[in-house]
């Protein structure tokens, strides 16, 4: 599918909202999504925690102000209040989705799964990885064949591929990528784990 028509857009939006709400539930019960026995997980949400908390605080303040301004129009006040509360839920849900959907290394399956909340989920076969390294970058220029998954405006790990993998965007657009940059709270541990898994996965 090269793109998404108007008929499928509501489906995508509903699926997105449901995934965010599911992330909230997983966060509340302290569980993660997509982790496997024998695998390793690497979080990345801490880098955006302060920003998301600030955004949530602004939404709460805005909700209180609107409640005061609209107190003489109860119907409008109730409608706006519902929308404001839902906005706060979505903001919290975005952060929760990042917490419960970490990067996952599955040596048994031979894959590295790079994710960002509910928006990006790229599975990279270990045999397609040419190199993986720590590389802190705070600026990213869009380039063909490159996928930059910045968190807090930075990436800390760069994965160079010998063969491309397919990235499917939120709206269904497919493109081949040969470089994937992501953020990890412990980039050194992620790099070491991938290198060790590649050595164990290599065919003698």
Kindly state whether residue 2 falls inside one of the protein's structural domains: no
Q: What is the pTM of this model?
A: 0.84
For 180-196, the pLDDT digits (tens) are: 999 999 999 999 999 99
User: Are both 117 and 194 inside the same structural domain?
Assistant: yes
pLDDT at 8: 77
The tally of domains found in the chain comes to 2
Q: Write out the residue range of the structural domain in which residue 179 sits.
A: 102-201
Residues 6+ apart with CB under 8 A from 31: 100
Asked if the structure places residue 68 within a domain, the reply is yes
pLDDT at 19 over 60: yes
pLDDT for position 124? 97
Sheet of strand 40-42: strand arrangement: 40-42, 103-106, 111-116, 120-125
Reference 23, options 101, 105, 86, 131; nearest CA is 101
When pLDDT is cut at 50, 70 and 90, the band that residue 203 belongs to is: very low
Q: What is the pLDDT of residues 47-104, one digit of tens each?
A: 887 788 888 888 888 888 888 888 888 888 888 888 888 888 888 999 999 999 999 9
| Alpha-carbon gap, residue 155 to 161, rounded angstroms | 17
Region 98-112: what's the mean pLDDT?
Answer: 95
Please name the residues in contact with 68: beta carbons below 8 A apart, sequence gap of 6 or more: none
**Arithmetic mean of pLDDT over the chain:** 88
Q: Dig out the tokens for 79 from the structure.
A: 């409608």
Domain boundary among 78, 100, 122: 100
Do 136 and 63 sit in the same domain of this protein? no
pLDDT digits (tens, 9 = 90+) for 128-168: 999 999 999 987 788 889 999 999 889 999 999 999 999 98
Collect all residues with Cβ–Cβ distance below 8 Å to 195 and sequence separation of at least 6.
132
Q: Same domain, yes or no, for 61 and 132?
A: no
> Nearest to residue 74, comparing CAs of 82, 52, 61?
82
Say if residue 204's pLDDT is above 60: no
Q: Are 127 and 176 in a shared domain? A: yes
Q: Do 81 and 24 belong to one domain?
A: yes
User: Quick one: 95 and 112 in the same domain?
Assistant: no
pLDDT of res. 201: 63
**Structure confidence at residue 202 (pLDDT):** 57
Are residues 135 and 83 located together in one domain of the fold? no
**Domain end among 53, 84, 100:** 100
At 161 the pLDDT is 97
Reading the block at residue 134, the tokens are 């720590």
Q: Give start and end residues of each alpha helix (H) in 107-186.
A: none
Residue 6: band (very low, low, confident or very high) from pLDDT cuts 50, 70, 90: very low
Question: Is residue 115 domain-shared with residue 174, that is, in the same domain?
Answer: yes
């Amino acid at each position: 599918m090269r793109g998404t028509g108007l008929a499928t857009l509501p489906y995508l939006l509903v699926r997105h909202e449901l995934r965010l709400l599911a992330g909230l539930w997983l966060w509340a019960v302290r569980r993660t999504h997509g982790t496997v026995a024998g695998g390793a997980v690497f979080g990345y949400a801490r880098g955006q925690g302060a920003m998301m908390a600030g955004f949530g605080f602004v939404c709460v303040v805005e909700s209180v102000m609107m409640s005061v301004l609209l107190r003489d129009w109860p119907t409008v006040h109730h409608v706006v209040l519902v929308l404001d509360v839902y906005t706060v839920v979505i903001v919290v849900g975005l952060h929760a989705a990042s917490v419960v959907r970490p990067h996952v290394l599955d040596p048994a399956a031979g894959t590295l799964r790079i994710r960002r909340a509910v928006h990006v989920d790229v599975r990279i076969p270990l045999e397609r990885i040419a190199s993986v390294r720590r590389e802190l970058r705070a600026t990213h220029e869009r380039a063909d064949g490159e996928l930059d998954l910045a968190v807090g405006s930075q990436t800390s790990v760069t994965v160079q591929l010998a063969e491309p993998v397919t990235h499917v965007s939120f709206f269904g657009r497919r493109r081949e990528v040969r470089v994937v940059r992501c953020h990890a709270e412990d980039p050194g541990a992620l790099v070491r784990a991938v290198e060790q898994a590649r050595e164990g996965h290599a065919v003698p």
